[in-house]
Amino acid sequence: MQLSLTQLPSRTLLLLLLSNLLLWENVASVPMCAARNGRCFVSLEDMFYFAGTFSHEVSVEISTLFSLFYAVLLKSVNTLLIAWEHPLEHLVSTISTLRNIPAAIISKARRVKEKNTSLHQGFNSIISLVLRGDEKEEKYPTWSGLASLQSKNEDARIWAFYNMIRCLDNDFKKIDINLNALK
Ligand SMILES: *[C@@H]1O[C@H](CO)[C@@H](O)[C@H](O)[C@H]1NC(C)=O
């Protein structure tokens, strides 16, 4: 049977707390307990003091971890946006060269182009405030798909566009999730 914390008598809880405190890495900073009749006593006040100190330290570390992670998300958005700059430009400008392409697709591509500009502007103003210069210049994957978008073989071109739009969809979903999480 497992005992939940609430079922443990408070004395046992205190002993558990004490043994954990002594096991903590920072044992050196824990003052010696008072020896009485050959036994070791640490006051409840001291226990609270140590627990409080450690909880504060852990909380500070977690806040730092969180703010560092914030930059990881921002940098990942930055990398994706930069990586898509040229491919998206080519995709939008060459999609109309596909034979029998529905007008709805062309007008959607135009909308993407317009909104892309606003997205870049908005995001650039965020990173100019938040990221340092060297953090903005992330390495990003180079794109080598232009030839397949311009292939003479119409079927190959259709596949190239299809695959590219699928990746675009994935990556911009990531951008959306990351930016809205950061918001
Ligand atoms: C998206 O915006 C960026 C930054 O303004 C620009 O470099 C890129 O060419 C734009 N893409 C399209 C498809 O307009």
Which of 77, 89, 123 maximizes ligand 1 atoms within 8 Å of its Cβ, making it the mutation to test the pocket?
Answer: 89
User: Closest residue (by CA) to atom 6 of ligand 1?
Assistant: 85
What's this model's pTM, rounded to 2 decimal places?
A: 0.71
Q: What pLDDT, on a 0 to 100 scale, did the predictor assign at position 69?
A: 87
User: Closest residue (by CA) to atom 8 of ligand 1?
Assistant: 85
Residue with tokens 């100190």, as numbered in its chain:
53
Which of 78, 86, 88 maximizes ligand 1 atoms within 8 Å of its Cβ, making it the mutation to test the pocket?
Answer: 88
What average pLDDT values come out for the chain (183 residues) when binned by 10 residues?
46 56 52 71 88 96 91 90 92 92 94 94 91 70 86 94 96 95 88
Residue 117 CA: nearest ligand 1 atom is: 2
Q: What pLDDT, on a 0 to 100 scale, did the predictor assign at position 164?
A: 95
Nearest CA-CA partner of 109 in 127, 89, 129? 89
Return the structure tokens found at 26.
């920072």
**36, containing H or E segment:** strand 34-36
Residue 173 CB coordination number (10 Å): 10
